Amino acid sequence: MWIALVHPPIYDFTAYDLWLRPLGLYNIGAYIKKFTPYDVILLDYMDRESSLSPPTRVKKYGTGNFPGEKIEKPEPLKPVKRYYYRFGIPRQRMEEYMRGLETPLAVLITTGMTYWYPGVQEVVESVKNIWGSVPVFIGGTYATLMPEHASKYGNVVPGEVNGRVLEILSQLTGKKITADHEPLPLFSLSKRKSSVMTTTRGCPYRCSFCASFILHRYRKKGKDRVLSEIEELVRLGVEDVALYDDALLIDADNHFKPIFREIIRKKFPIRFHLPNGIHVRFLDEEVAELMAGAGVKNIRLSLESVEEEFLERSSPKLHLSEFERAVANLERAGYQREELVAYVIIGVPGQNARSVEKTLDYLRRMRVRPSLAYYSPVPGTADFKLLEKEGYISLNDDPLLHNKLMFPYLGYSEITEVEFERLRQKAFDIVFALHQAL
C-alpha cells in the first residue's frame, strides 16, 4: 500500500525554477516512511529533471526555466497583456504514469500561491478519473490561507503538516500511528543534484504584505539537526542547497554563526544559496565572512524600498543604513557588489512609480542588482485586510485576482501598466549593466 504525495503544476504568466522544491512533502514523506508500513511516491509535476518532463536546460547551480505550454487566459486575467501558461510535466504524461500505479491509500497535495489553484484542480480531476474516490488531502500555502476555497478540492489540512500526517493515516486505517522523534526530511524523494532545506521556520516580523507568520510558527532548528540534514544531502550526492529560511540571520550569534562555523570546519562539498531575501540588519562582518568561507553563492538581500516611511509602516525589518553596512561587509568578505541581488517590491497598495524608480536608482548607485518582487495580495495579511476594507478585493473573489501581475489593473497601486513596463525595463537595464561590469 502506498501514499501519493503531489506537487501540482503551475498555471501562471511566468514561473522560474529558483530551487522550487516541495520541502513540506519531503517532511511528510519522512514520517510516513519511518513510522508506517506504507510506501510513498512523489508525483512532482515541477521536477524538470524527471524522465517524464520535456527537456529543459539545467543552469549552473540547478535553476532554470520550467517547461510550459501556452493556454487560454482565464477571464479574470484578461487585462494582462501576456501569454498564460501551464508549467510542469504535461498532464497526459503524468496521467499515463499514474495509470501504471495501483490505487494509493490517500493522495496528499501540497499547494503554493493562492492563484495557482488551477493546478490543484487539475490534479484532483486526474486523481478522480484514474483512482476514483481515493481520499484527497490538501495542505500548503493556498490551503492554509483559503481553506474554504480549497475545500472544494479535498480535505484541507491547514498549517505545517509534518507529523500530523500520522493522525490522518490513523483515522484512515483505524490504527493508531505515532512518532517518537522528528525524522530528517526524506530528501531522497528527489534525485536531483540540487535541493532545499531550512534552518529556521517562520519569521518574528510582521511585514504588512507577508504571510510568513500565518504559515509557520517562528522557531530555530538546533545546530546538530541542521548539520544532520546537510550530511544527509551530502550522502545523497547533492551539490547545491538553497536555504529557504525566512529568518536565517535572526539571533545570528546563537544560530547562523555556530552553524556556519561548523559547516566551514566540516568542509562539506556543497554550495549554498540564499534565494529568500535575508535580513540585512543582522549581516555583520562575521556573518559576511562566514558566508564567504562556507561558499555561499547566491545572496539575495531584503531591501523592498528606499522610502523610510514605507519601511517603517510596512516592512520594519531594516533601515537604509543597515542595508549599506551589509553590502560593505559582504564586499569586505570578498563578494563583488555586482553579484549581490536586492529585492525591490512593486505594486503595494498606494505605491507610485516614482517610489520604485528611486529605489532602482539607489541600487544602481550602490552597484547591487535589483530584483523586482511583484506584489500579490495575500489573504490574512494586514495589506489584504486594508484592501478588503477599501473595497478593492474580497475573500469571495476568484483567487486568480491575487496574481502578481494584476496590481496595475485593480486600482490599489498608483503604478499604471505603462509605468510598470518602463520600471521592468529599467530594472533589466541596471542588471544588464552591472552584469557587464563583473
**Binding residues vs ligand SF4 (CB under 6 A):** 203, 205-207, 210, 212, 246, 302, 317
* Torsion sign, CA atoms 47, 48, 50, 54: positive
Alpha carbon 410 to its chain centroid, in Å, reads 24
- Give, in order, the Cα–Cα distances in Å from 131 to each of 37, 42, 126, 298, 433: 21, 16, 8, 42, 53
Residue 84 one-letter amino acid: Y
Tell me the H-state helices in 315-348: 320-332
Contact 198, 229 (CB under 8 A): no
Closest separation between CB of residue 311 and ligand SF4, Å? 11
> What's the closest the beta carbon of residue 62 comes to ligand SF4, in angstroms?
23
Contact 241, 271 (CB under 8 A): yes
Q: Specify the residue, 203 or 340, whose C-beta has the smaller distance to ligand SF4.
A: 203
CB count, 10 Å around CB of 324? 14
Compare residues 207 and 270 and give the one whose CB is closer to ligand SF4. 207
Between 317 and 426, CB nearer to ligand SF4: 317
Shortest gap between Cβ of 304 and ligand SF4 (angstroms)? 8
As measured in angstroms, the least distance from the Cβ of 376 to ligand SF4 is 13
> Around 185, how many Cα atoms within 13 Å sit in the side-chain half-sphere?
25
Minimum Å distance from CB 49 to ligand SF4?
Answer: 29
CA–CA dist 314, 413 (Å, integer): 15
User: Residue 281 Cβ, how far from ligand SF4 at the closest point, in Å?
Assistant: 10
The DSSP output letter for 195 is: E
Closest separation in Å from C-beta 212 to ligand SF4:
4
> Minimum distance from CB of 402 to ligand SF4 (Å)?
16
Name which of 26 and 282 has its Cβ closer to ligand SF4.
Answer: 282
Give the nearer residue to ligand SF4 in terms of CB position, either 240 or 246: 246
Comparing CB distances to ligand SF4, the nearer of 149 and 300 is 300
Q: Which three cell numbers stand for residue 306?
A: 528606499
Taking the least distance from each CB to ligand SF4, the nearer of 210 and 387 is 210
- Quick count: other Cβ atoms within 10 Å of Cβ 58? 15
Cβ nearer to ligand SF4, comparing 215 with 353: 215
Q: Contact 168/157 with Cβ under 8 angstroms?
A: yes
Give the residue with the Cβ less far from ligand SF4, 20 or 169: 20
Q: How big is the CA angle at 27 (ends 21 and 28), to the nearest 5 degrees?
A: 110
Q: How far apart are CB 65 and ligand SF4 at their closest, in Å?
A: 26
Question: Could you give the CA distance from residue 307 to residue 216 in angstroms, rounded to a whole number?
Answer: 28
Least separation in angstroms between residue 75's CB and ligand SF4 is: 31
Distance, in Å, from the CA atom of 19 to the CA atom of 121, rounded to the nearest integer, reads 24
Q: Look-up: residue for cell 494584476?
A: 406
Bridge partners, residue 86, by sequence: 11, 69
> Would you say 203 or 242 has its CB closer to ligand SF4?
203
Cα gap 297→299, rounded to integer Å: 6
Any residues with CB less than 8 A from the CB of 225 and at least 6 apart, and which?
Answer: none
